[in-house]
Each structure stands twice: as structure tokens, then as C-alpha cells.
């Protein structure tokens, strides 16, 4: 039976500082490191045997995957990194403090930017200090100025279909270490969640989610590993 394990990276420095992060490449905090390690221990304890891993090109997700695999004694597994699994791009909000923005523009506007399906945050300015145009990992890639969840889905799902689905169809267990919104994109599809209802899905840091799938890759079950 194909299985898909999804894990959101452990707590990041900007999760702790309550700042809009998106594609900005912040590291894990000490707590995030511990969350990643315990995710790995849990994967091993539950007897899961992933054969292949995928992650974004962002340090917090890559490091979470490596720490988890080390704890699970699975660091030998093949890992594919791709920008399409990145966090949603937070546009002009990148780097700003979420509470300060609430105080400035109100709770409702911040909630729309954070959780609406198709309203993107304001775009990043040409001279924004958090632009990533010169970052070599994005050479040849048209870096977005901002992304809604809908935009994120438009790059996550083709990647899932092309690169991940063939392994699941072969009956493998696949582990993905990614981000709140790239994982929301996947969960929306796997759990058949509507555009309206997806606004309510919050994915905690460092808690692996196990999907058991049928041969057509429909979800048979979805559970947090620490509750399974």
C-alpha cells in the first residue's frame, strides 16, 4: 500500500520571531532541531520504511529532513530538492512582523493574506531587501513577486504529479519535508478539501502526518504519527 509521510519543518527562527517568512531562508531554532529529531524517532518507532524523500530548497526543510533521517538511521535514502516545494512566497510582507502588521492594518486583512485561497499578499518591490534574484539556487527560475495558496498549488501539484506520484504508484513510501503552505496544497488535494475549508487547515511544525493511499492514490486514512 502506498504511503505518504508529510512533515512541516521544525520551528524556524522567524516562526519564533513571528515574521512572515515565505522563500526567505531562515534556519531552525534549537526547538526546531529537537522537533525534527523527534519526527525521525517517531518514523522509526512506527516501523515506517520510506524509500525516497523530497524537500524544498530551503534550509529549514532540508535540515529537518536530514535530522529526522539521521535519527531514524535512514540518512542513506535518496533525497530530491526542488523549489516547487518551497513555502508560498510572501511578497512584500516577507520579513515583517505578523503582530505589527495586525496592529497596522487589522486582524482581518492579515488573516486574508495568510489564509485566503486566492488573495496574494502585496508584491515585493524591486528594491525590497528580501528579494532573492541573485540567489544561485533560483538561477533560470522566474521567482514570483508574491503567491497566494492558489499560486502555490499551481506549482506544487504538477511537481507532485510528475515526480512523486510515479513512486507512490509503484507502492513506495515517500517522505516529504516541506512548509505550511506547500503541504496545505498537497493536503487540499489528498483530503479533497474545498477552497473555503482549506483556510481552516493549520499544519504544526515537526509533527509527521501519515497518509495511507489506495492504488489510485486516494486517501484511505490521514493521521498524525504521534496519535496513530
Ligand X SMILES: O=C(O)[C@@H](CO)OP(=O)(O)O
Q: Which residues are catalytically annotated?
A: 9, 87
What DSSP state is assigned to residue 90?
-
Q: Is 20 one of the binding residues for ligand X (CB under 6 A)?
A: yes
Q: Among 180, 183, 186, 206, which residue sits at the site for ligand X (rule: CB under 6 A)?
A: 180
Which CA distances in Å does 41 have to 46, 183, 208? Answer: 9, 21, 11
Q: How many CB atoms lie within 10 A of CB 169?
A: 13
Which C-beta is closer to ligand X: that of 22 or that of 206?
Answer: 22
Assess 87 for contact with ligand X (CB under 6 A): yes
H or E element at residue 30: helix 30-45
State the minimum distance, in angstroms, from the CB of residue 117 to ligand X: 13
21 binds ligand X (CB under 6 A): yes
Which region among 20-28, 37-45, 152-160, 213-221 touches ligand X (by CB under 6 A)? 20-28
Q: Are 79 and 54 in contact (CB under 8 A)?
A: yes
* Cβ proximity of 153 and 117 under 8 Å: no
- As measured in angstroms, the least distance from the Cβ of 185 to ligand X is 12
CB 190 within 8 A of CB 72: no
Among 84, 114, 155, 167, binds ligand X (CB under 6 A): 114
**Number of residues counted as binding ligand X (CB under 6 A):** 9
Binding residues (CB under 6 A) for ligand X: these are 15, 20-22, 87, 90, 114, 180-181
Amino acid at each position: 500500500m502506498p504511503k505518504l509521510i508529510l512533515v512541516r519543518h521544525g520551528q524556524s527562527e522567524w516562526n519564533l520571531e513571528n515574521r512572515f517568512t515565505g522563500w526567505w531562508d531562515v534556519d531552525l531554532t534549537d526547538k526546531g532541531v529537537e522537533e525534527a529529531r523527534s519526527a525521525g524517532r517517531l518514523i522509526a518507532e512506527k516501523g515506517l520504511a520510506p524509500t525516497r524523500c523530497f524537500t524544498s530548497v530551503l534550509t529549514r526543510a532540508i535540515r529537518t529532513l536530514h535530522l529526522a533521517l539521521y535519527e531514524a538511521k535512514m540518512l542513506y535514502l535518496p533525497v530530491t530538492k526542488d523549489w516547487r516545494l518551497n513555502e508560498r512566497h510572501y511578497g512584500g510582507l516577507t520579513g515583517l512582523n505578523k503582530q505589527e502588521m495586525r496592529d497596522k492594518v487589522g486582524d482581518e486583512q492579515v488573516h486574508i493574506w495568510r489564509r485566503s485561497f486566492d488573495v496574494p499578499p502585496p508584491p515585493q518591490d524591486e528594491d525590497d531587501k528580501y528579494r532573492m534574484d541573485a540567489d544561485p539556487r533560483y538561477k533560470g527560475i522566474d521567482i514570483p513577486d508574491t503567491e497566494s495558496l492558489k499560486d502555490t498549488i499551481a506549482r506544487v501539484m504538477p511537481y507532485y504529479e510528475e515526480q512523486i506520484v510515479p513512486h507512490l504508484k509503484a507502492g513506495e513510501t515517500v517522505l516529504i519535508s516541506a512548509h505550511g503552505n506547500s503541504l496545505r496544497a498537497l493536503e487540499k488535494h489528498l483530503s479533497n478539501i474545498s477552497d473555503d475549508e482549506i483556510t481552516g487547515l493549520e499544519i504544526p511544525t515537526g509533527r509527521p502526518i501519515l497518509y495511507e493511499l489506495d492504488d489510485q492514490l486516494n486517501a484511505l486514512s490521514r493521521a498524525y504519527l504521534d496519535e496513530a
